[in-house]
Amino acid sequence: MTRKFTWFNATSLTFAFAFLYLPILILIVYSFNESKLVTVWAGFSTKWYGELLHNQAMLDAAWVTFRVAFTTATLATILGTMAAYVLVRSGRFYGRTLFSGMIYAPLVMPDVIIGLSLLLLFIAMNIDRGMMTVIIAHTTFAMCYVAVVVSSRLISFDRSLEEAALDLGCSPMEAFFYVTLPIIAPSVVAGWLLAFTLSLDDLVIASFTTGPGATTLPIKIWSAVRLGVSPEINALSTILISIVTVGVIAASTIDRRRAARAGERG
Amino acid sequence: MAAGLRRYLLIVVPYAWLLVFFLAPFFIVLKISLSDLAVAMPPYTPTFDPSAGWEGFKAFISQLDFESYIFLATDSLYVNAFFSSLQIAVLSTFLALLVAFPMAYGMARAPDWLRPLLVMGVILPFWTSFLIRVYAWVGILRSEGLLNQFLIWTGIISEPLQIMNTPVAVYIGIVYSYLPFMVLPIYATLEKMDESLLEAAIDLGCSRVKAFWLVTLPLAMPGIIAGCFLVFIPAMGEFVIPELLGGSRTLMMGKTLWNEFFSNRDWPVASAVAIVLLLTLVVPIVIFQRQAERQQEAGR
């Protein structure tokens, strides 16, 4: 029996996707609004994008955010891949339950708790707050997402390939870099991208752990948004949404092509 | 280099990172929650001085008390914030389930070629900034916003509805933001479901509705439970949504913590709020972790 796709299914999908996408579409449309009043349409204009380009504080924040996200993603990918290896491969060891608890808990832990606790740690350790503390904070929760993404790939990984490489004289390091890494690469890339966007998005944890000279874009957006809706923020949001959309679609296309090629070979 | 040493290093590096930057901070929060507010930097007392030795440590311990917790329990503001968080989180989890289930069901029944696109469509908003997605609703829900403009234009209402700055706006915000977390686990269980079970139930005399209740729903249960935890836990400590959409009268724990810390500069009370929030969430978090681990094991 083939699954029946009923009118009820089609309707619920249409409504649910409309609910998911309409607010974003409206936001994008109004970023091209001539009027300063966001809810009154006064004709097409790209002037808010122009204004954004001349807002030095915004550009500085964007640059800080990019550097934080890039470093976070890289660190989190290294630590997260290691953690995934430990979760999947290391079997039982002393403190394993605690370890997996520390991997899964940050995925659902409220931001305010992570932010507050890390800030109090930095103060207790007398570390000056700035870009570095934000990077440490972001790496801590982003590595857990990377670990989950990579470990789901590692579980389905055929270990005999790695054993063959070892039998043929590879050192364990060589076996990892020549055999394992290329195979799990799509999930590692996905993990990196996920960590990058998580860092790019985060407001709460960055607000707690930031210091002078390390104002990130979400903090900047937050202070603007609290004063109300502004077309400039809509324009900025549109740019960010476009970057993420292009990135996610590119990543998934690469992944699907790889999977398709692997399928042909197999 | 011995294989044992390599394995040891592999475990130690991520382990140590999480111990220092994830677990240790909780003990500091716990310690500060037991301290008293002081006009100093850092603004609490006592501070621990390792040079004072054992006597100093005993004096330090004796100065800790539960004052902040007593304050939380006796001030109705904090008690209300706790119950209002609980109510908002439970109700919005339920609403998210109501929206997500038909959606996941439709996705699982969609033609094969369409399914990856639909999954992509659910994941994509999750990747776009949370803050921006919540902000998008401000322009829609305001009294002169698009929803009210639309409803007045269609003649359904004559006066703008006050949705913004009410709990209703918070419900909408939470359901909207966390919908992918609910849809994906349910979809994963429904997609794997063996359709012949349904067929068998119908052959044996079940009506379609009854077969749904007796077969589909129980089989989807693991996904439903996972989804509910994934929405409930972060919703309980949510800060951005109640602050931006809920207005000053919507109280939630996350918002209280933020205000105590940044506006009142009362670190002991902010820490006590964090500990209470954490204790509330410990049980759901442990259940969630067990579930996630079991799913990983099953994938093996």
Distance CA B32, CA A116 (A): 11
Distance CA A100, CA B290 (A): 10
Is B180's pLDDT higher than 70? Answer: yes
Q: Over chain B, what is the mean pLDDT?
A: 86
The pLDDT confidence band at residue A266, using thresholds 50, 70 and 90, is very low
Task: Give pLDDT tens digits for A65-100.
Answer: 999 999 999 999 999 999 998 888 877 788 888 898
Cβ–Cβ below 8 Å for A245 and B144: no
Task: State the smallest CA–CA distance between residue B139 and chain A in angstroms.
Answer: 7
Task: State the smallest CA–CA distance between residue A83 and chain B in angstroms.
Answer: 6
In this prediction, residue A252 carries a pLDDT of: 75
Q: What is the ipTM of this complex?
A: 0.87
> B150 in contact with A at a CB cutoff of 8 Å?
no
In this prediction, residue B96 carries a pLDDT of: 96
> B242 in contact with A at a CB cutoff of 8 Å?
no
Chain A positions touching B110 (Cβ under 8 A) are: 5, 9, 13
The pLDDT confidence band at residue B236, using thresholds 50, 70 and 90, is very high
Task: State the smallest CA–CA distance between residue A16 and chain B in angstroms.
Answer: 6
Distance CA B108, CA B119 (A): 10
Residue in B10, B135, B145 nearest the CB of A82: B10
Secondary structure element (H or E) that encloses residue B5, with its range: helix B3-18
The pLDDT confidence band at residue B299, using thresholds 50, 70 and 90, is low
Mean pLDDT calculated for residue range B19-36 = 90
In this prediction, residue B271 carries a pLDDT of: 92
- AA letter at A68: V
In this prediction, residue B241 carries a pLDDT of: 93
In this prediction, residue B272 carries a pLDDT of: 92
Q: Over chain A, what is the mean pLDDT?
A: 87
Task: Give pLDDT tens digits for B88-108.
Answer: 999 999 999 999 999 999 999
Size of interface A-B (CB pairs under 8 A): 253
In this prediction, residue A1 carries a pLDDT of: 40
Cβ–Cβ below 8 Å for B106 and A19: no
The pLDDT confidence band at residue B164, using thresholds 50, 70 and 90, is confident
Supply the DSSP string of A47-116, one letter for each residue. HHHHHHHT-HHHHHHHHHHHHHHHHHHHHHHHHHHHHHHHHHHS-S-TTHHHHHHHHHHHHHS-HHHHHH
Distance CA B93, CA B97 (A): 6
Chain B positions touching A1 (Cβ under 8 A) are: 195-196, 199
> B244 in contact with A at a CB cutoff of 8 Å?
yes
Lowest-pLDDT range of A119-128, A256-265, B187-196? A256-265
Cβ–Cβ below 8 Å for B135 and A204: no
Is B177's pLDDT higher than 90? Answer: yes
Is A213's pLDDT higher than 80? Answer: yes
Q: What percent of chain A has pLDDT over 90?
A: 36
Higher pLDDT, B179 or B49: B179
Is B175's pLDDT higher than 50? Answer: yes
C-alpha pair distances (Å), B87 with each of A207, B82, B141, B235, B265: 27, 9, 22, 10, 27
Residue B98 DSSP SS3: helix
* Cβ neighbours, 10 Å, residue A140: 24
Please, are residues A240 and A199 in contact by the beta-carbon 8 Å criterion? no
- AA letter at B149: Q
Mean pLDDT calculated for residue range B221-232 = 91
CATH number (3.30.470.20, 1.20.1250.20, 3.30.160.250, 1.10.3720.10) of A66-228 reads 1.10.3720.10
Task: Give pLDDT tens digits for B99-157.
Answer: 999 999 999 988 888 888 899 899 888 888 888 899 999 888 887 788 888 888 888 88
Is A228's pLDDT higher than 80? Answer: no
Mean pLDDT calculated for residue range A130-158 = 91
Structural domains of chain B ordered from first start: 75-299 (1.10.3720.10)
Q: Which residue of chain A comes nearest to B177, CA vs CA?
A: A20
Residue in B103, B257, B277 nearest the CB of A16: B103
Q: What percent of chain B has pLDDT over 70?
A: 93
Task: State the smallest CA–CA distance between residue A187 and chain B in angstroms.
Answer: 16
Residue B204 DSSP label: T
Mean pLDDT calculated for residue range B246-272 = 89
Please, are residues A244 and B128 in contact by the beta-carbon 8 Å criterion? yes
In this prediction, residue A3 carries a pLDDT of: 62
> B82 in contact with A at a CB cutoff of 8 Å?
no
B70 burial type by CB count under 10 A (0-12 exposed, 13-18 middle, 19+ buried): exposed
Distance CA A194, CA A252 (A): 12
Chain B positions touching A116 (Cβ under 8 A) are: 29, 257, 261, 270-271, 274
Distance CA A47, CA A56 (A): 16
Instruction: Identify which of A160, A236, A105, A4 has the alpha carbon closest to the alpha carbon of residue B131.
Output: A236
In this prediction, residue A226 carries a pLDDT of: 82
Is A8's pLDDT higher than 60? Answer: yes
In this prediction, residue B21 carries a pLDDT of: 94
- AA letter at B114: L
Residue at token pair 């870099």: A177
In this prediction, residue B147 carries a pLDDT of: 85
Chain B positions touching A123 (Cβ under 8 A) are: 42
Chain A positions touching B274 (Cβ under 8 A) are: 112-113, 116-117
